[in-house]
Structure 1
Amino acid sequence: MIWVHDYQLMLLPQLVRQAHPLATIGFFLHIPFPSHELFRTLPRACRQALLQGVLGSDLVGFHTHDYTRHFVSSVSRILGLPNNLGRLAVDDRPVMADTFPMGIDVDKYADAAGSATSRALADDLRRSLSGADIILSMDRLDYSKGILNRLAAFERFLKRHPERRERVALMLVVVPSRTEVKKYQEMKKRIDEMVGRINGRFATMAWTPILYRFAAFPLDELAALYAASDVALVTPLRDGMNLIAKEYVAAKNGGTGVLILSETAGAAAEMGEALMVNPRDISEMAEAIETALAMDQSAQIRISRTLLRRLKRFDVRHWAGDFLSSLFGVRDERRRLESLCLSPAGAEGLVVTVRDAAKRLFLLEAEGLFLPVDAAPDTLSPESLEMLTLLGGNPANMVVIIGSGGRAEMQRLFGGLPVALAAENGAFLREAGQDWIMPRPLPREWIATILPLMQRFAGRLPGAEVEEKEHSLVWRYRRADKNLGEMRARELSATLKGLAAGLEITVRQGPAFVETVSPGVGRGAAAYHFQRLHAPDAILALAATDSGEEIFSALPEQGPFTATLRVGLCATRAAFNLRNARSAWVLLRNLAG
């Protein structure tokens, strides 16, 4: 098991996966993941490489649901990968993106604050300030922490509330970070200057409003600062989680103390009882300081104990355990799916059994094997033409291509090959070199009801279009905004299913399309027709989409040897999975001889 952490190593999971394909890999991002609108401003190659790098993992973890949602949205819209509640299909692997809010070692900070050393340090600090209320601001030197905004808020607070002067002190602790970087040096200079200006403006002979330290503190001194402070001012402009807010609550151990927390910190999602502020709103932060100082002790204790109970339940051990449990769950799911895959020995035996049969029926789904799932090309690939010519040219074989395309489209793509065809999901059938037939008369009256509905939905989504066939309608949105398209597709599908019972139509929803077909039409019915026609000794059915599951259901449980295979690691009615389309092609080549 390999657990990779943070943005500096976003490319590493894919590199590890390439070197160790069977490794169990987790990745956790400790900073916010930006929205798709922001992430897509990166150069195309860069944004794709970062996403693909992270997706080398089995499990991708984030502090908040918003970060997880942003990541999944970027993966969906930039890489075009579908997702189902954070579950992604990457190549031939399941990958999960989920939320794991990081906790802290609560007892560590509570015990440290309660130690004799920390209590003595806290008492000394309070005596040195003559009982003034202490506001603690502690962060490492970083542009994301909002230290200058915090100082501006404290200055405005002193200006608005002169009665608080000489009765309050801001303990400003800035932990050195990247001090060799010029921008950070400039930031420290601005902090130094602002502290000097505020102290120069408000200080008296007996009182200094800001006590400033540029240093890191050992645990006992840090815990003493937490314990001595009446208010913690934790207002980063943006932060993945911010553990200082949690450490402060833990050190208070259910006693008095007020947390003022930025609404843009990840911790805000878990600590809603704190005083929430917009870290860019100076006035709001200034008033929050006054609200915190004026809060009665009973309210402080009630909030503190509520937050503490939550921190204890969701501590760092829970975080690590939850992540690892989920990681092993994804690993086990991958192994379970891999166990359903046709093994090399099984594939070899299947080829021998099928080739030994006197009459063979191959039921092959067009989409996903020979055609893209969401659009038909102008021509088949040379590899497809060669494969189908060889397989269909054997007089012992009947090869049937089953697809959603209309008669003209299927004829254009496959008509010159020695294969049988099922167009519009089986509404029209054609043996090799013969004319098209309709197995049964089909009604078309329903189209007059459904077509205007689909056109109305297409009018609500730029890039969407309606394809009208003889006995089916397809609403496509592959050229539209993906997220809005998926939402409109769900709305349309729900509306159509409400009408389906009365009209006896079938509604299917797939990648970038919603389809309705005439009653009685189905890929399973087409498979059954050709099975009766050919009376084979062996049947091989191969599908790559959910629509192909109908084929498997129509095949006999007894009688001729029957092999059913589904491309991809997914739940299926088929007897076996094939890892990917490449595996399907290898199998067909071996069967073609």
Structure 2
Amino acid sequence: MFANKILEIYKPGDIVMIHDYHLLLLPSMLRQRVPHMYIVFYLHIPFPSSELLRCLPRRKDILEGVLSANLVGLQAFSYTRHFNSCCTRILGFPSTVAGVEAYGARCNVAAFPIGIDARTVQKLAFEDPAIDEKVAALRELYKGKKIIVGRDRLDSVRGVAQKLRAFERFLEMYPEWREKVVLVQVTSPTSVEEEREDSANKIAANVAELVDRINGLYGSLSFWPVQHYPQYLSQEEYLALLRVADVGLITSVRDGMNTTSLEYVVCQKEGHGPLIISEFSGSAAILESAININPWDTSAVATNIKQALEMSPEKKAVLHHQLSNYVFGNDIQNWTKVVLRKLLTTLSSNTHAFATPLGRDQEFLSSHLGHIPELGFSAEHGSFMRHPGSQEWENLAEIYDMGWQKEVMEVFQKYTEQTPGSFIERKRCALTWHYRPSDPELGERNSRACQKELQSTVAKTWDVEVMTGKANLEVRPTFINKGEIAKRLVESYGKGAGEPPEFTICLGDDFTDEDMFRSLNNSDLPKEHVFTVTVGASSKQTLAKWHLLEPADVISSMALLNGGDTNIADLGPLSVVEGRSAEMEDFPGERLVDQVPDTPVPGTVVEGERS
């Protein structure tokens, strides 16, 4: 429903911003139908750790749905770490603090703590005579008492029960404050989802029991220390309550960005009441001048309540000034600018974000495709070649000194011992250390250390390069790359009249395939006879002129070129979309709709392997 409605009004170039957990699958739905749509997904609630998310049966669907966005925003940095970790541990995609590498492209992930329309809230709170009247009435009602204000939804994560227990502990520890302070707690009715989970109203019953117990122990006929209002408040009542508060108390046990805390700061322009906030709220990370508490430690919360009530006016003014500067400087308007700026930076970035794959060896290629005599092969990123019609492999690196392998092996052995599950693969011209079976975070950390050590030692004394791959490190001679092989293949046909290939198609889905695209784009072959094709997400930056969405489309394309149809092995329709190059003016994209050239001519097919 949401996807259909968006597509009714969508125009090319529009930015689609999707909010919150109800629409986790929507980015994928939109990406499938409009591959070049600019999508931002923003999650307002905390993102769970991988240990929690992996319990869900549809965990992969959730992550894959979100990863179709160009940019994923969360409330706090810790939530971005959880998201990236889930993508690595559950889906196996490599990730960094900047994002996740998925399907040949990077999904950027960043923290954007949301703000409020602070100036509008301030105008509403201080320029409405009706609110002034309510403020005066509340001050008269609680005359001579310090007022602690809490306003929460009545569900399992807002910590209302923890707040009441902490207040009870405060009255127990500091009897001098009894009958001098009142907790005004407003609990809005729970959400529909929470109501289904708590159909017996256990949360409400627990809160009511705590309120009765505290009032019974520390109240009297003329005074109740807890004033509990299980109802919705009007805007005027809510803003008036925030204005009269002496202390704001938020004890969430899990929360995104608690906007009540931000609104409280705005409404304390005159009173400068301290803010006590749970460290488990997303607001705690940005409101540094608030008093952070652990809601499960009732004694510590009680102590902080006392400190807040007894704080000097000078200190309260300083803390409020710092809080107010943040809230007004990072309001919702600034949040919008920051998110859009990040999106535009992401879209305009020319940095490739693809992992380097392994180069398949001769045995792999021979066993899978060696029975086709018309095919020629290049193995291990160009170290070995087998020409069409031949069964002999040509070793292009046989004159190269391979003494560096002993030094590299010693380093790899050290990190293999430190990384359970990792192993070393020895090739004829390269050494590769794999850590995919290991713990992702441990493997990634040791991989960076290993890469740093190799670059500072072996890479400085030998003519080799250290390449990062998909959960692996590979060391190989610098002359080995697919671009040189593509160049050699083209030149092998000759440059005389009628000798160069009339049709050349080069396909690949990895970073090393960009060497082939660059080589063919710069070759002397007629541009209209060369088709460089990247495979993967439509948002990936590439030097290729053409774009296929997935490996199945490659097989469909080959079937069409061979005079067949696209339904080979029930692979589905061919999807070809506009290419997106690193320099759009130098490598302009073209657009096809469900078709490729249907008249095959003699030529060269150069294809990068998929690992």
Q: TM-score, normalised by structure 2?
A: 0.79
* Structure with more of its chain in helix, by fraction: 1
CA offsets 1:534-553 (integer angstroms, 9 cap, x no match) = 32513544333222333345
Structure 1 residue 90 displacement after superposition: 5.1
AA of the residue aligned to 1:29: L
Aligned residue for 1:546, secondary structure, equals coil
Distance 2:288 2:206 in 1: 32
Count of residue pairs brought into register by the alignment: 528
1:262 lines up with 2:219 in the alignment? no
Match in the other structure for 1:78: 90
My pick for the range that moved more, 456-465 or 84-93, is: 84-93
Distance 1:40 1:121 in 2: 49
Structure 1 residue 295 displacement after superposition: 0.8
Q: Is the 8 A contact 2:81 2:97 kept in 1?
A: no
Distance 1:425 1:18 in 2: 32
Q: Is the 8 A contact 2:84 2:96 kept in 1?
A: no
* Pairing of 1:198-237 with structure 2 (within 5 A): 198-237=214-253
AA of the residue aligned to 1:129: Y
AA of the residue aligned to 1:147: V
Q: Is the 8 A contact 2:104 2:509 kept in 1?
A: no
1:437 lines up with 2:394 in the alignment? yes
Structure 1 residue 227 displacement after superposition: 1.1
Match in the other structure for 2:377: 421
Distance 2:414 2:304 in 1: 50
Distance 1:91 1:515 in 2: 21
Distance 2:492 2:483 in 1: 14
1:453 lines up with 2:411 in the alignment? yes
Distance 2:186 2:200 in 1: 16
Aligned residue for 1:237, secondary structure, equals coil
Distance 2:110 2:406 in 1: 44
1:206–1:63: structure 2 CA closer, same or farther, 3 Å change rule?
Answer: same
1:560 lines up with 2:525 in the alignment? yes
1:408–1:583: structure 2 CA closer, same or farther, 3 Å change rule?
Answer: closer
Match in the other structure for 2:361: 406
Match in the other structure for 1:581: 551
Aligned pair partner of 1:503 in 459, 462, 467: 462
Distance 1:447 1:269 in 2: 48
Match in the other structure for 1:145: 158
1:495–1:184: structure 2 CA closer, same or farther, 3 Å change rule?
Answer: farther
Q: Is the 8 A contact 1:472 1:516 kept in 2?
A: yes
1:280 lines up with 2:264 in the alignment? no
Distance 1:153 1:478 in 2: 47
AA of the residue aligned to 1:126: R
Structure 1 residue 514 displacement after superposition: 1.1
Match in the other structure for 1:357: none
1:63 lines up with 2:75 in the alignment? yes
Q: Is the 8 A contact 1:254 1:304 kept in 2?
A: no
Match in the other structure for 2:116: 104
Aligned residue for 2:55, secondary structure, equals coil
CA offsets 1:555-583 (integer angstroms, 9 cap, x no match) = 58453336344334533444555444344
1:42 lines up with 2:56 in the alignment? yes
CA offsets 1:228-267 (integer angstroms, 9 cap, x no match) = 1100111111111111111110111264201000000011
Distance 1:410 1:57 in 2: 36
Q: Is the 8 A contact 2:93 2:102 kept in 1?
A: yes
Distance 1:91 1:409 in 2: 23
Aligned pair partner of 1:513 in 472, 478, 481: 472
My pick for the range that moved more, 541-550 or 150-159, is: 541-550
Match in the other structure for 1:163: 176
Q: Is the 8 A contact 1:254 1:308 kept in 2?
A: no
* Pairing of 1:355-374 with structure 2 (within 5 A): 373=357
AA of the residue aligned to 2:500: D
AA of the residue aligned to 1:405: R
Aligned residue for 1:145, secondary structure, equals coil
Aligned pair partner of 2:500 in 537, 542, 554: 537
Distance 2:384 2:16 in 1: 53
Q: Is the 8 A contact 1:136 1:233 kept in 2?
A: yes
Structure 1 residue 410 displacement after superposition: 3.2
Structure 1 residue 153 displacement after superposition: 0.8
Distance 2:274 2:505 in 1: 69
Distance 2:188 2:558 in 1: 64
Structure 1 residue 34 displacement after superposition: 0.2
Q: What fraction of aligned residue pairs are identical, expressed as a percent?
A: 31
Q: Is the 8 A contact 2:24 2:66 kept in 1?
A: yes
1:561–1:214: structure 2 CA closer, same or farther, 3 Å change rule?
Answer: same
Aligned residue for 1:516, secondary structure, equals strand
Query: Considering only aligned residues, what root-mean-square deviation do their CA atoms show, in Å?
Result: 3.0
Aligned residue for 2:431, secondary structure, equals strand
Structure 1 residue 373 displacement after superposition: 4.7
1:327–1:570: structure 2 CA closer, same or farther, 3 Å change rule?
Answer: closer
Q: Is the 8 A contact 2:493 2:500 kept in 1?
A: no
Distance 1:320 1:530 in 2: 51
Name stretches of at least 5 consecutive residues in structure 1 with no aligned partner.
Answer: 338-366, 375-403
1:526 lines up with 2:485 in the alignment? yes
Distance 2:442 2:284 in 1: 29
Q: Is the 8 A contact 2:386 2:393 kept in 1?
A: yes
Match in the other structure for 1:468: 426
Q: Is the 8 A contact 1:26 1:327 kept in 2?
A: yes
Structure 1 residue 424 displacement after superposition: 2.6
Distance 2:449 2:271 in 1: 51
Q: Say which structure, 1 or 2, has more relative contact order (CA 8 Å, 6+ apart).
A: 1
Q: Is the 8 A contact 2:84 2:99 kept in 1?
A: no
CA offsets 1:251-309 (integer angstroms, 9 cap, x no match) = 11264201000000011111011000001111110001011011111111111111111
CA offsets 1:322-356 (integer angstroms, 9 cap, x no match) = 435555666x559x99xxxxxxxxxxxxxxxxxxx
Name stretches of at least 5 consecutive residues in structure 2 with no aligned partner.
Answer: 1-14, 563-599, 601-611
* Pairing of 1:486-497 with structure 2 (within 5 A): 486-497=444-455
AA of the residue aligned to 1:436: W
Match in the other structure for 1:248: 264
Match in the other structure for 1:175: 188
